[in-house]
């Protein structure tokens, strides 16, 4: 992680790290404004669509990965309700997501699964791994109802990646934050 006072150059430093990682055969997201888990998913999805644009086969799989994680999250939400016709509700949700009317927030587990599968895709494309540069970590904490909840999510995310979600195969996460 990179920590320093406001205006110290943390984002600029992360930008240099991004440049060096890209030069070293990694796909790294440019520093992203990290205020919620969804921002990681959106940044990785968007950046991979750009970086893998010449590989239609991989782009199709990337779309499938993203949609499957969104669907899993919807299934979790719907299954936790007392609704009688869960299939109809699932179909309605899916339609709203496809038209862009609803944005489903990902859970830590769905984010980890998404990143793991994207990392494998990146490796298949011939890169050494996927690195996410998450800027402004303090905004993620501020957007939670409690610090405890925010730090719990961060701990689960960082610990899973650090302990080798993919057995050390190139998935990484770098945070920046004010001290």
Q: Is the pLDDT of residue 179 over 70?
A: yes
**How many alpha carbons lie under 13 Å from residue 148 in its C-beta half-sphere?**
0
Q: What is the DSSP string of 131-167?
A: EEEEE-HHHHHHTSS-HHHHHHHHHHHHHHHHTTTTS
pLDDT in tens, 1-29: 899 999 999 999 999 999 999 999 999 99
pTM above 0.85, yes or no: no
- Give the pLDDT score at 170: 85
The 10s digit of each residue's pLDDT in 74-129 is 777 777 777 788 888 878 877 777 776 766 667 888 898 899 999 999 999 999 99
Residue 122 tokens read as 């990146």
């Amino acid at each position: 992680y990179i920590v320093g006072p406001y205006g110290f150059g943390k984002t600029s430093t992360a930008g240099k790290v991004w440049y060096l990682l890209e030069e070293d055969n990694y796909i790294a997201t440019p520093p992203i404004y990290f205020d919620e888990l969804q921002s990681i998913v959106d940044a990785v999805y968007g950046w991979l669509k750009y970086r893998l644009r010449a590989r239609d086969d991989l782009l199709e799989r990337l779309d499938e990965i993203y949609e499957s994680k969104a669907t899993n999250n919807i299934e979790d939400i719907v299954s936790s309700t007392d609704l009688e016709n869960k299939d109809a509700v699932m179909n309605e949700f899916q339609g709203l997501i496809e038209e862009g009317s609803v944005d489903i927030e990902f859970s830590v587990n769905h984010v980890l699964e998404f990143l793991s599968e994207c990392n494998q895709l990146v490796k298949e494309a011939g890169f050494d791994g996927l690195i996410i540069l998450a800027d402004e970590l303090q905004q993620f904490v501020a957007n939670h109802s409690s610090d405890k909840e925010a730090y719990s999510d961060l701990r689960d995310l960082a610990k899973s990646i650090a302990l080798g979600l993919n057995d050390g195969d190139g998935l990484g996460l770098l945070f920046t934050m004010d001290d």
